[in-house]
């Protein structure tokens, strides 16, 4: 009697590479799009529309307080979404983080102003901004894991750089849209805001974010779980409390990951937020002397620099795959430290557009080179069953240390006569801190993230669970 042929076991489903790239890129694009849209609105319209009963300076400060809420909410989001990302999977958590973030952004565009509902207007604005921060706290890590855990062998660096491209793309989308709206609804000759822009024009960028969210949801619902996390599920090694597990078994990775990214954040906010303030402050203004460009003029120069940010982000991913994460990041960090020492020298002889745009290109090219490999490095520092939580914590703690205070410190170091040497020196100090962390971190290029690595993580950490 002939035995029946064995039925072949169907191969597990995998995610197409194009779907992985789009799904990981769209969320971080929304993240940075939201940052720039909110930052611009916090300067142009929120002070008068949501805090009208205060004097102009107090209104602006109140508006910036709501802006800063997201930084405090991001660690909450990293713990919340990290918990579920390590417990139930990357796909479901990525959908949830995008929904939280996208819904909050859209609802800001629908909020009634102070004239309509009084004190509830700034309260609701603060609530929505906090919700944005919670969503953002889980978004980057999930996107980075989606890219790296589904990357072909030897390509994790370049795949991990795809979520990082969200920063330049979000900048170009947000500021390009605001430039177009300002052109259609220009301010008066005396600087008086356009009535239509104040009434409804400012809402357009927030409402249009829904388009990006719908694209992101469509792609993410079609994903399947990553092979690395399926390996954790199959071996029964899912961490019961990922946060506690991270601090028991991977606290060193959290520390070096956090400080390894501090210079990246300082450089990013210096080259975008601070340079915008410095570039658009009048050359005759005392106590702060700037470059004297209009906002539109400087944004145009900044957008040219951001194009180079976008170019060098995947270039850095390619270099990280070829030479290793440390061999790419250490020379780049040294370059950032030297660049910080030259801040004032750039403008000693000329403040013309060629000088300014060259300065921006150099700084933002360095930004791409340091930011690109982080999408692979941070996830690779952690075992699979706590990778979401661990990488999210490192990324968002670095944002607090490197980003939350950077613009304020930069303004404080900006001398009344316009000298910005100390601003650059602060960047150099941040780069030295990051350099020390990178010298301590292990090379992760060859780290195995598949099921075998998951089983190894189980064996190494079963007792600590």
pLDDT of residue 457 exceeding 50, the answer is no
**Could you tell me which of 157, 465, 95, 82 has the C-alpha nearest to residue 324?**
157
The fraction of the chain above a pLDDT of 70, given in percent, is: 92
* The most confident of 66-80, 109-123, 208-222, 267-281, by mean pLDDT: 109-123
Mean pLDDT of 433-441: 96
pLDDT value of position 331 = 98
What are the pLDDT digits (tens) for 22-44?
Answer: 888 888 888 888 878 887 788 77
Q: What is the mean pLDDT of the chain?
A: 87
Q: How far apart are CA 393 and CA 49, in angstroms?
A: 35
Q: How far apart are CA 377 and CA 390, in angstroms?
A: 12
Phi, psi of 2 (to 5 degrees): -80, 130
pLDDT of residue 131 exceeding 50, the answer is yes
What are the pLDDT digits (tens) for 328-370?
Answer: 999 999 999 999 999 999 988 788 999 999 999 999 999 999 9
Q: How far apart are CA 401 and CA 275, in angstroms?
A: 19
Can you spell out the DSSP letters for 53-66?
A: TS-HHHHHHHHHHH
pLDDT value of position 459 = 45
pLDDT value of position 322 = 96
pLDDT value of position 11 = 52
pLDDT value of position 215 = 86
pLDDT band, residue 190 (cuts 50/70/90): low
Strand, coil or helix: 153: coil
Mean pLDDT of 180-202: 81
Q: How far apart are CA 134 and CA 69, in angstroms?
A: 10
pLDDT value of position 30 = 83
pLDDT value of position 364 = 98
Place of tokens 């390996």: 231
């Amino acid at each position: 009697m002939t035995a029946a042929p064995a039925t072949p076991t169907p191969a597990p489903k995998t995610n197409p590479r194009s779907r992985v790239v789009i799904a990981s890129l769209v969320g971080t694009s929304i993240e940075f799009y939201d940052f720039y849209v909110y930052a611009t609105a916090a300067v142009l319209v929120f002070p008068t529309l949501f805090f009208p009963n205060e004097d102009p300076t107090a209104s602006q400060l109140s508006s910036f307080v709501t802006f800063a809420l997201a930084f405090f909410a991001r660690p909450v989001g990293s713990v919340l979404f990290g918990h579920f990302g390590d417990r139930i999977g990357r796909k479901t958590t990525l959908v949830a983080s995008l929904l939280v973030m996208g819904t909050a952004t859209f609802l800001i565009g629908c909020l009634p102003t102070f004239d309509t509902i009084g004190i509830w207007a700034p309260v609701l604005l603060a609530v929505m901004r906090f919700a944005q921060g919670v969503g953002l706290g889980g978004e980057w890590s999930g996107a980075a894991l989606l890219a790296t855990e589904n990357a072909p062998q030897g390509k994790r660096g370049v795949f991990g750089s795809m979520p990082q491209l969200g920063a330049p793309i979000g900048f170009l989308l947000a500021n390009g849209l605001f430039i177009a709206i300002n052109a259609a609804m220009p301010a008066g000759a005396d600087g008086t805001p356009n009535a239509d822009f104040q009434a409804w024009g400012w809402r357009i960028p927030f409402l249009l974010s829904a388009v990006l969210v719908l694209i992101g949801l469509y792609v993410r619902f079609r994903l399947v779980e990553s092979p690395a996390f399926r390996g954790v599920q199959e071996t029964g090694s899912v961490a019961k409390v990922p946060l506690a597990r991270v601090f028991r078994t991977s606290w060193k990775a959290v520390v070096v990951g956090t400080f390894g990214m501090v210079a990246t954040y300082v450089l990013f906010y210096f080259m975008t937020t601070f340079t915008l303030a410095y570039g658009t402050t009048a050359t005759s203004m005392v106590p702060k002397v700037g470059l004297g460009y209009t906002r539109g003029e400087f944004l145009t120069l900044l957008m040219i620099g951001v194009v180079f940010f976008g170019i060098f982000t995947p270039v850095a991913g390619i270099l990280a795959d070829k030479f290793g994460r440390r061999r790419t990041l250490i020379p780049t960090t040294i370059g950032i430290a030297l660049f910080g020492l030259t801040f004032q020298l750039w403008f000693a002889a000329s403040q013309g557009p060629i000088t300014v745009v060259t300065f921006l290109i150099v700084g933002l090219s360095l930004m791409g080179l340091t930011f690109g490999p982080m999408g692979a490095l941070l996830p690779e520092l952690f075992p699979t069953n706590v990778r979401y939580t661990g990488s999210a914590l490192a990324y968002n703690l670095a944002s607090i240390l490197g980003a939350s205070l950077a613009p304020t410190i930069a303004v404080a170091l900006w001398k009344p006569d316009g000298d910005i040497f100390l601003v650059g020196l602060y960047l150099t100090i941040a780069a030295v801190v990051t350099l020390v962390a990178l010298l301590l971190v292990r090379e992760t290029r060859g780290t195995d993230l598949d099921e075998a690595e998951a089983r190894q993580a189980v064996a190494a950490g079963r007792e600590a669970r």
